[in-house]
Amino acid sequence: MKHALYGLVVIAATATVAMAAETAPTDVKFEDGAVGASLGPAGDAANGRKVFANRKLGNCLACHVNSDLAEQPFHGEVGPPLDGVADRWSEAELRGIVVNAKNLFEGTIMPAFYISEGYNRPLKDFAGTPVLTAQEVEDVVAYLMTLKEQ
């Protein structure tokens, strides 16, 4: 019992620290579709790879072929293949694309993964929240930066 309570306090404390260091979705600064500054947390490419494939998180494979994830069965073809994407875009541009691709690709089908407003009729459980956390966005960006062909 004591242990469980202690655990809770620690989690709450770390959560507060993490929150303070993060840029909120409404505070992200765009320049020509790119976001230069990290959202706060350091990106972890290995976790980004998981977020990319996870149907409940990035689900990027729904629309993109990615040879690096060949072990995952179904890759969509709605968007372009992401092989070598880090050769085509800078880190700041990739962060901009993940946060809100509509700034770079007007009218795109690609969802914005880090906005908390501006969408209609969200399901109650998702209202006011972004699809990914700041940590997950940075993880995905770090992962995308590993997708090089040259």
d(CA 97, CA 144): 11
Q: How far is the CB of 63 from other proteins (least distance, A)?
A: 7
Q: How far is the CB of 3 from ligand HEC (least distance, A)?
A: 37
d(CA 50, CA 57): 9
Token duo for residue 121: 């009729």
User: CB-based contacts of 58: which residues, under 8 Å, 6+ apart?
Assistant: 51, 52, 113, 131, 132, 136, 140
Amino acid found at 51: V
Q: How far is the CB of 32 from ligand HEC (least distance, A)?
A: 15
- Select from 16, 55, 106, 150 the one that contacts other proteins (CB under 8 A): 55
CA distances 112 to 68, 81, 131, 138, 146, Å, are 23, 18, 8, 14, 21
Among residues 26 and 74, whose Cβ is nearest to ligand HEC?
A: 74
**Using rule CB under 8 A, residue 24 touches other proteins:** no
**97 binds, options ligand HEC, other proteins, none, Cβ within 5 to 8 A by partner type:** ligand HEC
Token duo for residue 145: 């930066």
Only segment of 15-23, 88-96, 118-126, 142-150 that touches other proteins (CB under 8 A)? 118-126
Q: Which residues bind other proteins (CB under 8 A)?
A: 55, 59, 61-63, 65, 70, 72-78, 109, 111-112, 118-124, 126-127, 129, 131
